[in-house]
Structure 1
């Protein structure tokens, strides 16, 4: 049977404005970094994407090298879009990025005009789209002049292949410079995509304040710290979990006693709020109005639903925040 979206999908999400733009995003968005590569079942991915849209999640975030293998997350979403959501393209914000290793040789990485615009065209082909809503440079490249990189993003927008420009993993200083350069070319910077979680608080050292000052939204990734801010690892490392694979998370991180003590303390606070640890972790990053959306991955519909439910309780009392700060220590769970 053809997919018919839930009629009440826009009554469920309190959409948030991206900086001083006209773009509204759901507080929790679906990220494709994990769980959407060629090693996953298409039917499972399709079920997650459908359920996300039913819940008012209108923003899907990718990058050229998400997989594995590289490009497969974009290919899989393209298949799902054609099967289920082609009639709803104008209801979606679809973003992708380029800036990390993608293909061999000197032109498949970093921040040159050649790499970024070639990657953009490849991403559009894999997704089966005429344009992207947001095209990001994925990371700073100190070897390429910033003017060249921002010029490529501006060209992407002026050519109609992207509607908005974004950057990811940039320092506050380079973000301000990038925003100024784009503005001089008539292309506003819409979003910055940094990592942010209770255990990774670097953005509080100037980046969020600077984004608020220049009117740019934040789409934060890894708000659950690769699963460390869920109940998944509180009682051991499950077989088949990300920690057993050693991809972005190791067993040593998931069994570190300092991490476990802090995560269990946070879980108790979450329970007193009527939330899971993952839900509170998402609500916590969203407490700052500069954070437009939190990007989450989901390997199942149930996992997605648990994350999206965080938007039902985004308020914190002062005493809750004080209690959380005792456990939400920057650097917890980091690789040594």
Structure 2
């Protein structure tokens, strides 16, 4: 059966401009990081992706290494584009990134022009697209001149392979320098994608969010639910079927320390008082600042997607509620910050 988008798909979603650009993103965007790789069949993927688009989610976020295995998320989304989404391509924002390890040898990761250019070409082939809407430098590379990395992004725009470019997980100083270099090249830094949640506030602590507001760079938060911790599911001690089941996965032991889970319990009380799920409270908080264009969510099921979308019913937070959230989480901060070799605590 051929997919046909819901005619009412734009009726309930809210959209925000990405910084000072003309690009608008839905306040909830869908990331295909860990749930749309080789273990996801086409019907299961299409059920979620179709429901997302029918709900006004126009932005689908990928990267070269998303899977598992690496590349499989782009391949699966490429199949969806070819079979079901093709008539709606001009209504969609498709983003991808390059920066983490993708193939053997010295040209398979980080920030060289060689790697970024080759990676984007590979991504376009997997996606079956002539261009992506946003292409990111996935992480700062201290061993490559920033002029080279930003030059590769500018080249992608000039070659028509990307409409907009952005950076991900860049601290404040590197964010400002990337912006300056791209501006001199006549290309805007349209968006910054950092991790950000109520228990991971590094972009506030180092001033990155303030810098983006000052410079007119939009922001999209990844891991606004702290790898699912803010859903409350780890407070029961059950990890079966979750990221906590894999000791070598993206969920770290520091994410589920007792002090963190205690903060989550306190947030649950606040969420209940607002008539929200804990997921919805966490998303409301991440989106409370004007610098934040969108929150990037990852889902395994249609029920999780619907829970995320429920935040649209109550996005606003009062000053008193924000103060209560700060008090509830002050002992549960994870104090993460990015480094070129990974995330440090």
TM-score range, shorter chain: over 0.9
> What does 1:56-95 correspond to in 2, within 5 Å?
56-95=56-95
**What's 2:341 paired with?**
none
**What's 1:115 paired with?**
115
List runs of 5+ in structure 2 lacking aligned partners. Answer: 337-343
TM-score scaled by length of structure 2: 0.94
Question: Where has structure 1 moved over 4 Å in runs of 4 or more?
Answer: 252-255, 333-336
Measure how far apart 1:42 and its partner are: 2.4
Deviations 1:127-146 (A, max 9, x none): 00000000000000000000
**What's 1:327 paired with?**
328
Q: Is the counterpart of residue 281 in structure 1 residue 287 in structure 2? A: no
Measured in 1, the distance between the counterparts of 2:255 and 2:16 equals: 33
**What's 2:233 paired with?**
232
Measured in 1, the distance between the counterparts of 2:232 and 2:256 equals: 13
| Preserved contact between residue 260 and residue 333 of structure 2 (Cα < 8 Å) | no
Measure how far apart 1:32 and its partner are: 0.9
Measure how far apart 1:318 and its partner are: 1.4
Of 288-297 and 254-263, the range deviating more from structure 2: 254-263
> What does 1:152-167 correspond to in 2, within 5 Å?
152-167=152-167
Change (3 A) 1:140 1:324: same
Measured in 2, the distance between the counterparts of 1:173 and 1:231 equals: 34
Measured in 2, the distance between the counterparts of 1:253 and 1:45 equals: 31
List runs of 5+ in structure 1 lacking aligned partners. Answer: none
Measured in 1, the distance between the counterparts of 2:153 and 2:191 equals: 13
Of 252-261 and 79-88, the range deviating more from structure 2: 252-261
Measured in 2, the distance between the counterparts of 1:20 and 1:100 equals: 29
Measure how far apart 1:311 and its partner are: 2.2
**What's 1:316 paired with?**
317
| Preserved contact between residue 171 and residue 203 of structure 2 (Cα < 8 Å) | no
Measured in 2, the distance between the counterparts of 1:33 and 1:22 equals: 26
> What does 1:163-182 correspond to in 2, within 5 Å?
163-182=163-182
**What's 1:105 paired with?**
105
TM-score scaled by length of structure 1: 0.97
What is the total number of aligned residue pairs between the two structures? Answer: 335
Deviations 1:74-102 (A, max 9, x none): 00010111111100000000000001100
Measured in 2, the distance between the counterparts of 1:30 and 1:287 equals: 19
| Preserved contact between residue 17 and residue 25 of structure 1 (Cα < 8 Å) | yes
**What's 2:49 paired with?**
49
Q: Is the counterpart of residue 292 in structure 1 residue 298 in structure 2? A: no
Of 145-154 and 34-43, the range deviating more from structure 2: 34-43
**What's 1:30 paired with?**
30
**What's 2:305 paired with?**
304
Measure how far apart 1:40 and its partner are: 2.1
| Preserved contact between residue 75 and residue 126 of structure 1 (Cα < 8 Å) | yes
**What's 1:271 paired with?**
272
Measured in 1, the distance between the counterparts of 2:118 and 2:57 equals: 29
Measured in 2, the distance between the counterparts of 1:98 and 1:173 equals: 21
Deviations 1:92-138 (A, max 9, x none): 00000001100000001110001000000000000000000000000
Measure how far apart 1:283 and its partner are: 0.7
Measured in 1, the distance between the counterparts of 2:284 and 2:225 equals: 11
Measured in 2, the distance between the counterparts of 1:29 and 1:303 equals: 13
Measure how far apart 1:157 and its partner are: 0.2
**What's 2:339 paired with?**
none
Measured in 1, the distance between the counterparts of 2:191 and 2:96 equals: 12
CA RMSD of aligned residues (A): 1.4
**What's 1:124 paired with?**
124
Measured in 1, the distance between the counterparts of 2:140 and 2:256 equals: 32
Measured in 2, the distance between the counterparts of 1:37 and 1:333 equals: 30
Change (3 A) 1:177 1:312: same
| Secondary structure, aligned partner of 1:226 | coil
| Secondary structure, aligned partner of 2:269 | helix
